[in-house]
Homo-oligomer: A and B are copies of this chain.
Amino acid sequence: MIVHDLTTPALLVDVDALDANLADMAAALPGPRLRPHVKAHKTTSLARRQASLGHPGFTCATIREVEGMAAAGLGEDLLLANEVLDARRLGALDARITVAIDSDETLAAAVAGGVREVLVDVNVGLPRCGIAPALAGGLADRARAAGLTVRGVMGYEGHLMMLGDVEERAKLTEECMAKLLAAHADVGGELVSGGGTGTYALNRWVTEIQAGSYALMDTAYSAAGLPFRQALTVLATVVSVTAPAGEMPGWAVADVGLKSLGMDHGNPIVPGAQVWFCSDEHTTFAPDEPVKAGDRVRVLPAHVDPTIALHERMHLVQGDEILDTWAVDLRGW
């Protein structure tokens, strides 16, 4: 089967770019130094390809992601790097599950849900989840008193991932990690988990990096000067073309829009064209060279993660040939 036979919109993954990204990251962070984050692709087939390169553990953002990874036989060491107030579905799984806690409420939920291992999530500067560093040790003590194994700490310097100035990114990462290491001194445990695609090469302080976007990349991350290649595109069909008239330039419309593209980082890129705007099922663009109805275009989404969450499947391609089709099987909650 070739790409032209696909119904559009359709997610395409360039196998050569994907494999190069996975290999480059595995060389930089071999084995357990990388805990790939599945939220970026929500696809167990892609996670299996990451596992085959030697990474034994994975990071998840939702209970559904943990369940799906366990069901796919990838449950050797799953970290839910997120707080949950109802952990019963996690406790019921036949897999090694570690969940983040940052409060007595999330600690109580882990105990009540039958989860046995936790990480203390420490706030290192991003105003989101995580306990204040000075309070982390106390929470770890209470977790151990409640019978839980505390494997260590995690802290996500998410506000630094896309800082354009690499030296500034490195300096601020060090400041964030100083907070995490101070908390770790109080908490103990073998894991110091953090980082992401934007800081994978700068963060020398954690024992493992939670990167996800590196596998497929997107236009937002591409601006951060990283060595990874954009592997994901959304195949679209040109459904309408309007010729220039008077002062109005011509334009074309592709059948990708707000329901097939994550829009939080703005409009997608249509190579060789200027994008004007997106509607529910359309992107209006002005092409540099004429196009006609029926032509195919490969659109680059601004943000991969929410783009993938809108699709049921992704197609692994080499040029125009479809090598495999993977279910995006970790969607929902």
Q: Residues of A at under 8 Å CB distance from B?
A: 7-10, 39, 61-63, 82-86, 102-103, 105-106, 123, 127-130, 132, 158, 237, 239-242, 245, 248, 251, 253, 255, 258-260, 262-264, 276, 278-282, 284, 292-294, 303, 305-306, 309-312, 331-333
13 A–B contacts from the bound complex (CB under 8 Å): A61-B280, A62-B281, A83-B253, A84-B239, A103-B240, A103-B293, A127-B242, A127-B284, A128-B284, A129-B253, A158-B279, A263-B264, A280-B305
Q: Kindly state the separation between the CA atoms of A51 and B281 in the bound complex, as whole angstroms.
A: 24
Residue of B nearest to A65 (CB): B281
Residues of B within 8 A of A240 (CB): 83, 102-103, 106, 128-130
A278 near B253 (CB under 8 angstroms)? no
Q: Kindly state the separation between the CA atoms of A239 and B131 in the bound complex, as whole angstroms.
A: 12
Q: Kindly state the separation between the CA atoms of A123 and B239 in the bound complex, as whole angstroms.
A: 14
Oligomer: number of copies: 2
Residues of B within 8 A of A311 (CB): 332
Shortest Cβ gap from A331 to chain B (Å):
8
B262 near A132 (CB under 8 angstroms)? no
A239 near B127 (CB under 8 angstroms)? no
Residue of B nearest to A245 (CB): B132
Residues of B within 8 A of A105 (CB): 292-294
Q: Kindly state the separation between the CA atoms of A241 and B331 in the bound complex, as whole angstroms.
A: 26
Residues of B within 8 A of A130 (CB): 240, 242
B262 near A258 (CB under 8 angstroms)? yes
Residues of B within 8 A of A303 (CB): 258
Residues of B within 8 A of A281 (CB): 39, 61-62, 82
Given known contacts A127-B242, A239-B106, A310-B309, A85 and B294 CB-to-CB distance under 8 angstroms = yes
B294 near A128 (CB under 8 angstroms)? no
Closest 3 A/B residue pairs (Cβ): A105-B293, A263-B264, A129-B240
Residue of B nearest to A10 (CB): B333
* Partner among B129, B245, B279, B306 whose Cβ is within 8 Å of the Cβ of A239: B129
Given known contacts A262-B258, A262-B263, A292-B105, A128 and B253 CB-to-CB distance under 8 angstroms = yes
Q: Kindly state the separation between the CA atoms of A281 and B83 in the bound complex, as whole angstroms.
A: 11
Q: Kindly state the separation between the CA atoms of A91 and B248 in the bound complex, as whole angstroms.
A: 36
Q: Kindly state the separation between the CA atoms of A264 and B256 in the bound complex, as whole angstroms.
A: 14
Shortest Cβ gap from A312 to chain B (Å):
5
Shortest Cβ gap from A81 to chain B (Å):
10
A128 near B279 (CB under 8 angstroms)? yes
Given known contacts A259-B306, A263-B264, A85 and B284 CB-to-CB distance under 8 angstroms = no
B293 near A306 (CB under 8 angstroms)? no
Residues of B within 8 A of A127 (CB): 242, 248, 251, 276, 284
A278 near B258 (CB under 8 angstroms)? no
Q: Kindly state the separation between the CA atoms of A255 and B86 in the bound complex, as whole angstroms.
A: 12
Shortest Cβ gap from A197 to chain B (Å):
13
Q: Kindly state the separation between the CA atoms of A305 and B331 in the bound complex, as whole angstroms.
A: 18
Give the most central of A248, A264, A284: most B CB within 10 Å.
A264
